[in-house]
Amino acid sequence: MKALGLFGATIGQRYGGLGLPATTYARIVERVSAVWMSVSGIFNSHLIMCAAIERFGSESMKESLLPRLATGELRGGIALTEPDCGTDLQAIRTRAVRDGDHYVVNGTKQWITNAAEGNVLAVLVKTDLDATPAHRGISLLVAEKSAGYVARKLKKLGYRGVDTAEVAFQDVRVPVQGLVGEQEGRGLQQILSGLALGRINVAARGVGVADASLQSALAYAQQRFTFGQPIASHQAIQLKLADMATRVEAGRLLTDKAAAAYDSGQRCDLEAGMAKLFATEAAVTNAMEAMRIHGANGYSSDNEVERFYRDAPLLAIGEGTNEMQRIIIARQLVERAEG
């Protein structure tokens, strides 16, 4: 992946990246995910962090970090979720206290991609406990691994090709230069803007898994014979294949639209939410249908369909649950109608 430039796929060429538009990036993610969905997670979290740095970091931060991130010398991720805080990021408890020319960070983050095998994280922290509203007291720090950083890998149903960890920060010292932006209190807005790219990535992953499930089911349906004919000739199977193919194409179109909106620079919560919602549900449904078409063979760990079935549910949970996507979509519909 380093040789292919994937760690710098969306980083600007000025900083050593490929500078690819989101539309091209989404197709890369789809193709990778159709073969091994976990792999795309390695550079997704990495590039969300990079997007936040490139959009909001100081020029010295960009010049110091982005070239190393683009080559994969640094492999990063985003540390947002906590044991008692998932979607409600304003409720985070990880704290960063200023001590001279450093911040001292204490707290625990959970379900963090690249936290064990990677070497740098964008960490969402509380820098002001008394701020009202709460988001005004939240900042984003870029922390390279150092003393006090303890990561423990978590076991998962699927999505096993990428490390996911619980990270404990125990008096970790981060130079003040690690603050993203020129002032504290902007962290939530900074990371949420990067999550739009993450949701496009997850939508593209959904399309990849949905398509891989379709292709596997289609091939098997032409090879497996019952009652003297391939099961693809049976109407019950044909109905499943038709629905699976339609989900793939619809998910791909929604993802392309969201990526185009992201590239235009306009706010794309609605488009990214719709793409993420539909494409990931398509992956979950297609994986189940592929298993049913394969019958007992699809339930065997020797068959790739079994992996699709285990990997797909993560897509409906990660980067904001699909229940949350529905709320975002509805709010954006109302906001745009009023505007």
**Catalytic center residues:** 319
| Neighbouring-strand partners of residue 172 | 105
Q: Quick one: which of 63, 48, 18, 7 has its CA closest to 262?
A: 48
How far apart CA 265 and CA 227 sit, in angstroms, is: 56
How far apart CA 281 and CA 284 sit, in angstroms, is: 5
Could you tell me the two tokens for 103?
Answer: 């911040």
Could you tell me the two tokens for 225?
Answer: 């014979």
How far apart CA 292 and CA 244 sit, in angstroms, is: 12
The alpha helices in the chain, defined as continuous H runs, are: 22-56, 59-71, 187-223, 235-264, 269-294, 304-317, 322-338
DSSP secondary structure code for residue 334 in this structure: H
Q: Do the beta carbons of residue 247 and residue 282 sit within 8 Å? A: yes
